[in-house]
Amino acid sequence: MIKWGVIGPGRIAHNFARGISVTEGAVIHAVASRNQQRGQQFADEYQIATVYGDYQALTQDPDIDIIYIATPHAFHYEQAFMCLNAGKPVMCEKALTMTAKQSEHLREVSVEKGLFIMEAFWSKFLPVWEQIQTWKQQIGSIKLVQSNFCFKAERNYSDRLFDPVQGGGALHDIGIYNIALSNHVFEQLPLNWQITGEVGETGVEESVSAILEYENGASAMFTCSFNINTPNTMVIFGEHGRIEVAEPFFGAEKATLVTDKDTEIFEAPHLGAGFEYQIAEAMECLRQNKIQSDKHPMQATIDTLRIIEEMRKKLNVE
Give the fold, CATH level 3, of 127-269.
Answer: Dihydrodipicolinate Reductase; domain 2 (3.30.360)
Q: What is the 3-state secondary structure (H, E, C) of 117-138?
A: EEEECHHHHCHHHHHHHHHHHH
Kindly provide the residue ranges of all beta strands, DSSP E only, lying in the chain, ordered along the sequence: 2-7, 26-32, 50-52, 66-69, 90-93, 117-120, 142-150, 192-199, 205-213, 219-225, 234-238, 241-245, 254-259, 263-267
d(CA 116, CA 296): 12
- Contact between 234 and 219 (Cβ < 8 Å): no
162 Cβ contact list (under 8 Å, min separation 6): 153, 155, 156, 168, 200, 202, 204, 206, 226
d(CA 151, CA 232): 9
Per-residue pLDDT tens over the stretch 146-165: 999 999 999 999 999 999 99
What residue spans in the chain does CATH classification 3.30.360.10 cover? 127-269
Which pTM value belongs to this model?
A: 0.96
d(CA 152, CA 161): 11
Which residue type sits at 243? Answer: I
Helix axes 298-314, 176-186, angle to 10 degrees: 130
pLDDT band with cut points at 50, 70 and 90 for residue 318 = confident
**Cis peptide, bond prior to residue 248, ω within 30 of zero:** yes
pLDDT band with cut points at 50, 70 and 90 for residue 105 = very high
Q: How far is CA 68 from CA 49, 59, 163, in A?
A: 16, 11, 23
- Which backbone phi and psi does 18 adopt, to 5 degrees? -65, -35
d(CA 258, CA 255): 10
Per-residue pLDDT tens over the stretch 241-270: 999 999 999 999 999 999 988 999 999 999
- Contact between 153 and 161 (Cβ < 8 Å): yes
**Cis peptide, bond prior to residue 95, ω within 30 of zero:** yes
What residue spans in the chain does CATH classification 3.40.50.720 cover? 2-121
State in words which class domain 2-121 has: alpha beta
Per-residue pLDDT tens over the stretch 177-192: 999 999 999 999 999 9
pLDDT at 82: 98
Helices in 124-206 by DSSP H: which ranges? 127-135, 170, 176-186
Per-residue pLDDT tens over the stretch 283-305: 999 999 999 999 999 999 999 99
Q: What are the b/e assignments for 153-175, b being 16+ CB within 10 Å?
A: beeeeeebbbbeebbbbbbbbbb
- Contact between 231 and 250 (Cβ < 8 Å): no
Which residue type sits at 281? Answer: E
pLDDT at 261: 87
